[in-house]
Chain A
Amino acid sequence: MSNVIEVKRLIKDYGSLHAVNGIDLEVHKGEVFAFLGPNGAGKTTTVEILEGIRPRTSGSVDVLGIDPWHDGLKLIHKIGVIPQGFNFFEKITPAEAIRFYAGLFRKNTNVDELLKKVQLEDKAKDVFDSLSGGQKQKMGLALSMVNDPEILFLDEPTSGLDPQARRAIWDVIRSLKAEGKTVFLTTHYLEEAQILADRVAIIDLGKIIVTGTPSEIIQEHGHREVLRIEAPPAMAEYLRSHLDLQVDVRDSTVEVEIRVKEDVLRVLNVAETSGIPWEGVTTHMETLEDVFIRMVGKMDEGTVAGEGKKGGAPLGK
């Protein structure tokens, strides 16, 4: 499988701060690659280096055989970008914006077709500042496709959108993948990455801590299954002292790792004999989000230099 992006030992320093600290990355042609990390982890800095709008301190970066910083003008014809919190000239309509981009890229773009593709055909003549958040993102998506790019960099394209608008963007991303485009997706929504991405990389404190398909990551780093009991923390203490299983307390719920089916009965028996009141019981298979939270900790709202303020919902519940 050929690589369209190859990053080796990439470092980006802002003074004494290592925003990106020696990462290696490969993105295959035609895949949806999700780049995940908490605020200030180095996601946006990395993406901006790949897009050619920010220089690196050291390391090598190859995007479609081009060095983004030194040959950026060549690269912009081959990539499409939606930056975080996409904005445009407030009094310009989506149709005018597409014609403007098509003119700059010397492309004979069918405006109506492109607007239909991003489900924005009924807003073709509405000015940007009258569009909803989801419609603005769709317009950004349309603009990123005007030059028929080989790679699309989508930096939190669904951040702050309602579920319906988010799913509409997902449809477009799926259609891009079906067309053979490579999508480099940065997102706060782990569910989104799990649903859309072929492969995922998680970055924290400027270093990539895990790479693989979502199922590989869950299998390798997640607990296989947990039994959730609605009970006070004292129950966790009691179970720990009577069982050889991993017991955690999360969001007022006691979670017990289940290795084999029989563990469920053992846990319930011990819980019953504890005399501590408990209510509902559910089983739960870990998601990418669970693994992410365990690996990088709860996301904070802080940022580092070069990282934009994030508009998406925090991951922790």
Chain B
Amino acid sequence: MNPRNIFLYLHIFALGYLRSRIGLFFSLVFPVILILLFGAIFSSSGSSAINIYVQNQDHNSPISQKFIAALNETGAFNVNIVSPSSGNLSTWLSNNGDTAGIVIPAGFAAQFMNHTPVRVTVYTDPAQGATAGTVQGVVQGVVNEFNLGGTPPVITVRSLNVGSTSFQYIDYLVPGLIGFTVLTSPMFATVNISSEFKKYKLFRQLSLTPLTRGEWLTAAIIWFIVLTAISTVLMVSIGELVYGAKVTLTLLAVPFLVLGPLFFVSLGLVAGSATNSPESAAVIGNLITFPMMFLSGTFFPVSMFPSWLQDVAFCLPLYYVIDGLNNAMVFGNVGRVLVDLTVIVVLAIVTFIAAIHLFKWREK
């Protein structure tokens, strides 16, 4: 394996890819559009009233009553009162299968009157991204009305998840869409390349140069790792800057950003080996890609799925990439990262070996 040959092909491949606007659009622009679109959808208000459970720990003070009335008047909520004696609201919501609640703390009125900062806690379930976004947005609106533009604001909002620490839908969406890029760019491009190169005899052409199959494959994998890295930086930046996502680019995420493209380039090559026709290759590529795209937790957490569909998701390689990225970038769950990584390592090795065997420069 000659690094110079790999670089030479990488250069030609990158030039061709960058000049093909369709490839570039689907690799970098389309995921950005998705994150902006989904982020906007799930951060904006819904159309029907949401059941919200308010725990007023301020002994029904007039100001707190006024705050609850203001929530009611928005028309966005069906406000339900939960007694302070019910204990922790997050636990109460979890136990009752409810997903949205507000705690008005003790001393709310006194602090408000004294212009001492006071914090209202909003509980939502990130799995119900649209609802969560609406609740947070509407509560913030009511709080702003109470603050009347005062600087600094007296009332602030703390968002927490029901029964867990503070995660928002966007926190799940960023790793999901990075996984989407890891899947789609290498898969679609490689399936297409492997059939078109055969049809137009480009593999045959390359076989008459000193470039080897291994060097070709390595260059393609490196290119998609680079694209994935660029896409990851874009996703994380947009998620953080536009929607305040709490995702961290840690070293734990790196193996998924390397092995993911390696696996899907190899899988694309295996799939493309099955046919010489670019049209058939596109069908095969779609059959493999689309179920993974929607069922692996790309747009919604797999935990939202019915159990039988969750079982299907667990069979999809992309699930382990996205779960790994979630655990590395959002939850910091090293144990789960290692489990996901083990699955991806095994799949990547097996598929890479299969691709090397099935992918031929020359014909018999």
Contact = CB atoms under 8 A, between A and B. Distances in A.
A53 B209 contact: no
A91 B16 contact: yes
A92 B16 contact: yes
Interface in B50-71: none
A73 B11 CA distance: 23
Contacts of B11: 100
B19 to A, nearest CB: 4
Per DSSP, chain B at the interface is helix
Interface stretch (A59-67, A101-109, A110-118): A101-109
Per DSSP, chain A at the interface is loop
A88 to B, nearest CB: 7
B16 A105 contact: no
A100 B208 contact: no
Contact of A54 (B12, B15, B362): B362
A271 to B, nearest CB: 53
Given A81-B208, A104-B211, 6 more contacts: A76-B208, A76-B209, A88-B205, A100-B8, A100-B12, A104-B8
B151 to A, nearest CB: 55
Contact of A73 (B19, B20, B210): B210
Interface residues of A, number: 30
Interface of B: 4-5, 8-9, 11-13, 15-16, 19-20, 200-202, 204-205, 207-211, 361-364
Contact of A83 (B9, B201, B210, B363): B201
16 contacts: A53-B207, A53-B208, A77-B210, A81-B208, A83-B204, A83-B205, A84-B201, A87-B202, A89-B13, A100-B12, A103-B4, A103-B8, A104-B8, A104-B209, A104-B210, A105-B209
Contacts of B20: 90-91
A97 B207 CA distance: 15
Contacts of A87: 200-202, 205
Given A54-B362, A83-B201, A91-B16, A105 B208 contact: no
A96 interface: yes
A306 interface: yes
Given A53-B204, A85-B201, A104-B5, A91 B19 contact: yes
Listed residue (A53, A55, A83) with the most chain B CB atoms within 10 angstroms of its CB: A53
Nearest to A87: B200
A81 B201 CA distance: 12
